[in-house]
Amino acid sequence: MTKEKEPQNEKKRTQEPLIIGIGASAGGVEALQQFFSCMPNHSGLSFVVVQHLSPNYKSLMADILGKHTEMAVIQAANEMQVEADTVYLIPPKKFMTIQDGKLILADYAAGSLNHPIDMFFTSLAKEKREHAIVAVLSGTGSDGTNGVKAVKEYGGLVIAQDPDTAKFDGMPKSVIQTGLADFILSPEEAADEILNFSQTPLLLRTPRIDGPADEEAIFSEEETLSHIYIILKNASGIDFTYYKRSTILRRIERRMLVTHTATLAEFARLLGNNNDEVNILIKEILIGVTNFFRDAPFFEKLKYNAIYKIIERTREDEPIRVWSVGCSTGEEAYSIAILFQEALEELQVKRDIKIFATDVDSRAIEQASKGIYSENIIDDITPDRLSRFFIKQNDQYHISKQIRRMIVFAPHNMFSDPPFGKLDMISCRNVMIYFQPVLRRGLFAIFHSALKNNGYLFLGKSETASEYANLFKPICGPEKIYLHKGEGKVEDLTPPTFNIPNIQAISMRSSYSMGSPQEDRNKEIAYTKFLEAFLPASVVLDENDCVVHFFGNYADYFTLAPGKATLNFFSMLNKDLTLVASTALSRCHVEKIPVTYTDIAVDCPSGRKIIDLMVQPIPAAPGEESTLTAVLFLERRHPETEGITEKYEIDATAARRIADLEREFQVSQRDLRATIQRLETVNGELQAANEELLTANEELQSSTEELQSVNEELYTVNTEHQLKLDELTMMTNDLSNFLSSTMIGILFVDSKLNIRKFTEYVGREFQLMEHDIGRPIQIFAHSFPDEEIERDANTVLKDLVSIDREVTALNGRCYTLRIAPYRTTENSIRGLVITIIDSLGTAPKNK
């Protein structure tokens, strides 16, 4: 049944239109115009544009974009089906997501961060997975960055606008800084790449075997893929052979599309010649997307069902050890540390918490160790935790020192580096989903050996330990929290072999069970005691000639001197052996071979002895330099050994030692002279730099004084402007009061006879209202039917000669009409002043 459904689902997916999510904010209108001007009208694609809009703003984006594309541009409605060759716009005051090919709208949540682009991108990633395409264009802030992380987690394509082409580069730069952008392009170039992506068929398919040619193609692709694995391993030290094949192929296919390579063999050649592309592919495969308190209910269960119990059962002087596996950029490790801190405060106890946070990606570890995150984290962290455990600086949040001290970050490959031990808890979330079963078995074996009995294992919501129920008992099944049973055994559960420098480990475990760490320690102690008892008197020295181990009966050759305790070899050595031992050690260090002196007379507490003294370097691991040296005191003649063997003669040995010391003294003198010369050179450079700094300081002081002077001038000018403004305000108030209180009607018009201002008295005669300002006087009726005021006004504008005469209104009242030019202080004409004065004592004619 499953095999029949998969092709149908794939066919359905290919028939659905590709949906391109576009995020934009300030300056985004111009970028969108450029993008859609280059996008064909019948590409078969769907576009969803998500902008930051003011809640009360009526967007005209549909009209604006409609002039640059013939595609339908419409504002989205709830549950609207997404169709091809259509542009959908987010409405104001709404969040928008996509589900089952339909756009879902929701109102803003009060108090939440307004990041509609993040919300839509995340839903598009879950809906379309590797077929999701998003572009982040001009805008301020960081909206879109978290959404881009989700898109990359599901294998989608991410495009960021080239900051040099954006009016506001905040949003594109925020995406670029994550290192997740597949392309950094101008809007026009982005349109071309999206078309290329939509029109390119799947590059990596599993061919059906219909004949020898198909078998040959499969073999060739497998061989090429193996070659790519080798290139990646040489660059990163990571063997990706047993990572999920589908994930690897998707990442490779995506890079083939980005680099425009047509075949897998061509891409393999590109990797062989381009180290940067190798590093990008490694980063793509190791894509680590995480958040604070991801799946928040899971972390709350972890706090009360695991962390509380760990703290309660642990003594105050006993450390609590936690391993965060695959921590990426650190959010998960910090989340666990915050939970521990909260639990300690709630229980009012003190414990030493040590969280080991590791990841194979050293760049992610470097970022995590800084503990600095963008403002996007407020979507994932409650305001209380944000205020208690973070410090805001500008637009970033810094983790508090109290939490940072709990965590040790380190690069670590869990399959080749030794694991941590005696752990109270392991958190390994969303890591095993990328592994094939063979790697998952190895990982569970590591967890079994690293966890204490009754330790806790915390997995991701898509992972399970049910296959190993004898080892891990679920205590919160839905939340993936398991209790470790240390006595449990599974026959096929064997941890991988780890690379431990300078130690050759012998595995004492059978194929059916694993010895406990305590048994291994007991065997090591037994071996050491055996060697210490039966080896000849000998010591092991480090590079500073300090004893790190004693073997055999060494009491005749070493005595502890009174005073401050020391393990220096020559401070404890018998005086009769000082000269020969120092000579032998010097020759051994220089020539890197064993040196033996024979027939040495030594006065010991047990009597006079004739011995041989052998000094030889202890071999180190391949590729490393030896730092340890063995010194043996041989009381019986031994067969000839490698290296230098000489009979001890005090005069010859003393002469050799003096020559060695003189040579060392000369070398030291040369080194000292060279050091003095370098110090003199550096001192001269420092003096020159100091003079430059003094000069720069003087220039800065001068600039500061100039800025202070300019500031004072600006303050003076500002004061003058304020005074002028006060005068203008008073004059405006006076004029307004004069015009409103006088019985004279005054009408101001510009040179085109458009109304500029009028008094209430004249408004009654011309039927004017406040909103008529700016409209031409010609369209208004007035109370003087016998007068042609418009003609008179044009005459005055032409001749610049005022007109005065008596006029009679419809009601029979007589007025004095005056039309005069409006002159500015520069004596330029800017319109007319029309005044109407009621002639006192004149009665209407109809009375």
Summarize pLDDT for 678-696 with one digit per residue, the tens.
Answer: 888 888 778 777 777 776 7
The answer to whether residue 532 scores a pLDDT higher than 70 is no
How would you list the strands of the sheet with 94-99, edge to edge?
80-81, 102-107, 94-99
Return d(Cα 836, Cα 808) in angstroms, integer. 11
Report the mean per-residue pLDDT for the chain. 80
In whole angstroms, what is the distance from residue 237 CA to residue 785 CA? Answer: 100
d(CA 271, CA 235): 11
CB 130 within 8 A of CB 156: yes
Given a cut of 80, whether residue 659 has pLDDT beyond it is no
Query: Contact, 51 vs 32, CB < 8 A?
Result: no
Give the residue carrying structure tokens 């008094």.
Answer: 759
Q: Judge whether 582 and 654 are in contact, CB under 8 Å.
A: no
CATH 3.40.50.300 is right for the domain spanning 742-838: no
Cβ–Cβ < 8 Å for 118, 145: yes
Say which range, 110-119, 622-631, 716-725, has the weakest mean pLDDT. Answer: 716-725
- pLDDT computed for residue 634 by the predictor: 85
Q: What fold, for 522-648?
A: Beta-Lactamase (3.30.450)
Could you please report the per-residue DSSP string of 278-334?
A: HHHHHHHHT-----TTSSHHHHHHHIIIIIHHHHHHS-TTS-EEEEEET-TTSHHHH
**pLDDT interval class at 624 (50, 70, 90):** low
* 436 compared with 835, residue with greater pLDDT: 835
pLDDT at 663: 76
771: left (phi over 0), alpha (psi -120 to 50) or beta: alpha
pLDDT of residue 339: 95
CA 85, CA 46: separation in Å to the nearest integer? Answer: 5
The secondary structure of residue 583, as a DSSP letter, is: H
Paired sense of beta strands 538-541 and 607-617, if any: unpaired
DSSP state of 418: P
Give the DSSP letter of residue 163. G
Active-site residue 143, yes or no? yes
DSSP 8-class letter at 776: B
Q: Where are the alpha helices (DSSP H) in 200-292?
A: 212-236, 245-259, 264-273, 275-285
Average pLDDT of the segment spanning 480-487: 89
Residue range 296-484, CATH number:
3.40.50.150
pLDDT of residue 46: 92
123 is annotated as an active-site residue: no
Handedness of CA 198, 203, 206, 210 (dihedral sign): positive
The three state secondary structure string of 708-768 is HHHHHHHHHHHHHHHHHHHHHHHHHHHHHHHHHHCCCEEEEECCCCEEEEECHHHHHHHCC
Position 661 scores a pLDDT of: 77
Architecture of domain 16-199: 3-Layer(aba) Sandwich (3.40)
**C-alpha–C-alpha distance, residues 613 and 452, integer Å:** 48
Structure tokens at 719: 């004061």
* CA–CA dist 290, 332 (Å, integer): 7
Q: Between the ranges 182-196, 527-541, 699-713, 777-791, where is the mean pLDDT highest? A: 182-196
Cβ neighbours of 622 (radius 10 Å): 6
Rounded CA-CA distance 485/67 in Å is 68
Report DSSP state, residue 184.
E
With contact defined as beta carbons under 8 Å apart, do 745 and 783 qualify?
no
Helices 245-259 and 275-285: crossing angle in degrees, nearest 10, is: 140
Q: Are 28 and 51 in contact (CB under 8 A)?
A: yes
How far apart are alpha carbons 814 and 838 in whole angstroms? 6
Distance CA 492, CA 512 (A): 7
pLDDT value, residue 513: 36
Query: Collapsing DSSP states into helix, strand and coil, what is residue 687?
Result: helix
Does the pLDDT at position 355 exceed 90?
yes
Surface-to-core class of residue 369, CB atoms within 10 Å of its CB (0-12 exposed, 13-18 middle, 19+ buried): middle
Q: Which candidate, 806, 809, 835, 807, places its Cα nearest to that of 820?
A: 835
Strand partners, 104: 97
Q: Are strands 829-838 and 814-823 parallel, antiparallel or unpaired?
A: antiparallel
pLDDT at 715: 60
Percent of the chain with pLDDT over 90: 17
| CB neighbour list of residue 318: distance below 8 Å, 6 or more residues apart | 351, 352
What was the pLDDT predicted at 481? 93
Distance between CA atoms of 482 and 24, rounded to whole angstroms?
Answer: 44
Find all residues with CB under 8 Å of 498, minimum gap 6, and list them: 416, 417, 418, 419
Active site residue 52: yes
Q: Residue 397, exposed/middle/buried by CB under 10 A (0-12, 13-18, 19+)?
A: buried
pLDDT mean over 613-628 = 76
Please choose, from the candidates 42, 24, 39, the residue with its C-alpha nearest in 3D space to the C-alpha of residue 83: 42
Q: What is the pLDDT of residues 192-213, one digit of tens each?
A: 888 888 877 655 544 443 444 4
CA end-to-end span of the chain: 106
Q: For residue 323, what are its two tokens?
A: 């391993």
Helix (H, G, I), strand (E, B) or coil at 678: helix
Give the residue, 97 or 504, on which the prediction is more confident: 97
Q: Model confidence over 258-278: pLDDT tens digits?
A: 888 878 888 888 888 888 888
Mention every residue, 6+ apart, whose C-beta is less than 8 A from residue 471. 444, 448, 465, 484, 485, 488, 490, 493
Share of the chain above pLDDT 70, in %: 83
Taking a C-beta distance cutoff of 8 angstroms, is the pair 311, 347 a contact? yes
- What confidence score (pLDDT) does residue 640 get? 61
Label the pairing between strands 102-107 and 94-99.
Answer: antiparallel
Kindly indicate the confidence band of residue 54, based on its pLDDT and cuts at 50, 70 and 90: low
Q: Give the H/E segment covering residue 455.
A: strand 451-459
Residue 507 has pLDDT above 50, yes or no: no
Domains 16-199 and 296-484 are alike in CATH topology: yes
Asked if 837 and 815 count as a contact pair (C-beta separation under 8 A), the reply is yes
- 710-730 pLDDT, tens digit each: 776 676 667 667 767 877 888
Q: Do 816 and 804 touch, CB atoms closer than 8 A?
A: yes
Reply yes or no on whether the pLDDT at 629 is more than 70.
Answer: yes
Q: Got the DSSP string for 73-112? A: EEE--TTEEP-TTEEEEPPTTEEEEEETTEEEEEEPPTTS
Backbone angles phi, psi at 755, to 5 degrees: -70, 130
Residue 162 is predicted with a pLDDT of 92
Query: Two tokens at 492?
Result: 């096929």
**Residue 5 clears pLDDT 50, i.e. is over it:** no
Amino acid at 359: D
Averaged pLDDT, 358-379: 85
Helix (H, G, I), strand (E, B), or coil: what is residue 563? coil
Q: What gap in Å lies between CA 739 and CA 761, rounded to an integer?
A: 9
Return the minimum-mean-pLDDT range out of 149-163, 283-297, 398-412: 283-297
pLDDT for the residue numbered 492: 62
Q: What tokens were used for 607?
A: 């009597």
Question: What would the pLDDT profile of 122-148 be if each residue is shown by its tens digit?
Answer: 999 989 888 889 999 988 878 888 888
pLDDT of 181 strictly over 50: yes
Instruction: Say which range, 179-193, 283-297, 631-645, has the weakest mean pLDDT.
Output: 631-645
Over 60: is that where the pLDDT of 500 sits?
no
Kindly tell me if the per-residue pLDDT of 483 is higher than 90. Answer: yes
Q: In the prediction, which pLDDT does 345 show?
A: 93
Mean pLDDT, rounded, for 5-11:
42
Q: Would you kindly state where each structural domain of the chain is located, as residue ranges? A: 16-199, 228-285, 296-484, 522-648, 663-737, 742-838
Cα–Cα distance measured from residue 328 to residue 345, given in angstroms and rounded to the nearest whole number: 28
How many Cα atoms are found within 13 Å in the side-chain-facing hemisphere of 271? 26
Q: Is the pLDDT of residue 703 over 90?
A: no
Pick from 399-413, 508-522, 657-671 the range whose average pLDDT is largest.
399-413
Tokens of 582: 């120092």
SS3 string, 596-655, reads EEEEEEEEECCEEEEEEEEEEECCCCCCCCCCCEEEEEECCCCCCCCCEEEECCHHHHHH
Q: What is the DSSP letter of 275?
A: H
What number of residues does the chain have? 847
Q: Single out the catalytic residue among 43, 46, 52, 236.
A: 52
- d(Cα 119, Cα 488) in Å, to the nearest integer? 45
The H-or-E segment that residue 696 falls in is helix 650-741
Instruction: Check 85, 131, 138, 143 and give the catalytic one.
Output: 143
Phi/psi for 38 (5° steps) reads -100, 0
- Which of these is catalytic: 25, 142, 174, 427? 25
